[in-house]
A and B are shown apart, each in its own frame.
Chain A
Amino acid sequence: MKFEYVIVGNSAAAAGCIEGIREYDKKGSIAVISDEKYHIYSRPLISYLLKGDVSESRMQYRPADFYKVNGVETLLGKRAVSVDSKTKQVALESGEKVEYGKLLLATGSKPFVPPMDGLDSVKNRFSFMKLDDVKGIEKAVKKGAKVLIIGAGLIGLKAAEALEHYGCEMTVIDLADRILPSILDKQTSEIMQKHIEAHGVKFLLNTSAKSFNKNTATLTNGEELQFDILITAVGVRPNTELAESAGGKVEKGILTDKKQAVKGVKNIWAAGDCTVSEDITTGTSHIIAIMPNAYAQGLVAGHNMAGAADKFEQAFPMNAIGFFGLHIITAGAYTGDCYEEIDGENVKKLFSCNNKLCGFILMGEKIARAGIYTALIREQTDLSTVDYELLCKAPQLAAFAKEKRQEILAKGGAA
């Protein structure tokens, strides 16, 4: 098999890449390789599927005719095991070889399960990353089941929210002293914790599971917990094996340049949760595992693979998520001067440093028009050119200089 473009992975970065390629190259052959057998779907939607908010067909990330319309050959349910960058071949688990002209590694990440004694003896143990995880949980879950979730991060708590609909009795444990440490500060994490606890979820923080004996966990605080279902959501690790086998540079994740080309090899690009990005709000490089980032990187990779010049330079973390009806929107880094408004569950915290907005946390009713703040970060807007005081009160275009505002309103411009 030989294709002009080969993409390993079948999620947001892959979609971005396909759409990016097709903007410039309508004909070149494209193949998508994925170990999952499903039509491209949205990973974060699995919790909504479990909850019953969406059906499997509605969680598709792109329409049913997506591959056909874009002329994409799919090699689904096939695992890529290595890449030979000299012969430009991807080796599949089945022994098949796929030859590529240009290759995108959009391999994402895999759940990280820390070693715990007796874990293998646990019945009904799941991660919460893929469609198959939901299918497994759906089969195992019964009304009133006791669920132990290890990890009070986004994934663990989304699982908890979904399982509330099954009337499960839930306990979430985490080694950290607070929930959602990746997106909330201490104060807002406490507010969210209370909100979630009000829905019957029990938290045991500063705690981890020492060992398991079948479906009984012994915690580091000595407590013993019985459960019917175990969900491990401690963290993820990027899938970098293919990049390594090809000779690409890998540190915390796959290293790329701004064009998303993998460092150290030719004709290979990478995008999404398996890569390292430079965070414009901190200046540091780390994995920014969010869907918008994956799509944008995929798109830039696609453009470059099809011969157009494009760069991805606006990486920064941002998240919009809700738990049990309380929504949060966050972005950037929480350092510098803080403007805050706290009114029960409605919270606004804006962080500015060096005359730029570098991050924010919005909760509850304060999430409205958050994108105006996001744009300030994305555009690295000098806050002396806007009425920041007005912006603190509410995100609004009135805070911009008249010309800038009229450019937006009159031209209806391009973002």
Chain B
Amino acid sequence: MKKVYVNEERCLGCHLCEYYCAFANGSEPEFYKAFRLGRNAVPRIKVEDGNGINFAVQCRHCDDPQCMKNCIAGAISKVDGVVKIDRDKCVGCYTCVLSCPYGCVVADGGHSASKCELCTANGGTPQCVKGCINGAIVFEERGETA
């Protein structure tokens, strides 16, 4: 299946992907308003700036997702290869935050956890990929086991 991959040789650490993500998963149709009025979501992609390198990290949609196995509410499931959180079931205990070895599940305003769902609910094109100014983030099939 197609996943989001980042090339750390190309990532500039501009952090714009975080904003495009936060916008795409928020509720406001106008980009600048989303942030000016706080109608943005918490970004589900995280750009790391460490030791002179930059790279964006987001859910790897693991074969054996720790977040899903450990979820106390049974709110996390894998649908067509995409690990998803059912926000209606999630109680925001953050056992998933505790579990994800990549640090890719984020606390979303106290009541629920959020994570990258490959923009399946936002038209299918991951907005971090679309917004990357240097082609560092790609959405492609790499033929590993799903």
**B42-74 Cβ-contact flags toward A at 8 Å (1 or 0):** 000010111101010100111111110110111
**B105-128 Cβ-contact flags toward A at 8 Å (1 or 0):** 111001100000000000000000
Residues of chain B at interface, number, CB under 8 A: 48
- A216–chain B nearest beta-carbon distance, Å: 35
Q: Which residues of B contact A58 (CB under 8 A)?
A: 88-89
Beta-carbon contact of B73 and A42 below 8 Å: yes
Beta-carbon contact of B46 and A387 below 8 Å: no
Q: Which residues of A contact B131 (CB under 8 A)?
A: none
**A276-319 Cβ-contact flags toward B at 8 Å (1 or 0):** 00000000000000011001100100000000000000000011
What is the size category of the interface that chain A forms with chain B? Answer: 35 or more
Cα of A399 to Cα of B55 in the assembled complex, Å: 12
- B116–chain A nearest beta-carbon distance, Å: 11
Nearest residue in A to B70 (C-beta to C-beta)?
Answer: A292
Stretch of B22-30, B32-40, B94-102 at the chain-chain interface: B94-102
Cα of A15 to Cα of B71 in the assembled complex, Å: 12
Q: Which residues of A contact B99 (CB under 8 A)?
A: 292, 371, 374
Cα of A411 to Cα of B140 in the assembled complex, Å: 12
- B98–chain A nearest beta-carbon distance, Å: 4
28 contacts between A and B (CB under 8 A): A16-B69, A53-B111, A59-B89, A291-B70, A295-B70, A296-B69, A320-B95, A320-B96, A320-B97, A320-B98, A322-B92, A322-B93, A322-B94, A325-B110, A329-B97, A367-B97, A368-B103, A371-B104, A375-B101, A378-B101, A390-B50, A396-B50, A396-B103, A397-B103, A405-B8, A408-B60, A411-B142, A412-B61
Q: Which residues on B are within 8 Å of A, measured CB to CB?
A: 3, 5-6, 8, 46, 48-51, 53, 55, 57, 60-67, 69-70, 72-74, 88-89, 91-107, 110-111, 142, 144
Q: Which residues on A are within 8 Å of B, measured CB to CB?
A: 12, 15-16, 42, 44-45, 48, 53-54, 58-63, 291-292, 295-296, 299, 318-322, 325, 327, 329, 331, 367-372, 374-375, 378, 387, 390, 395-399, 405-406, 408-415
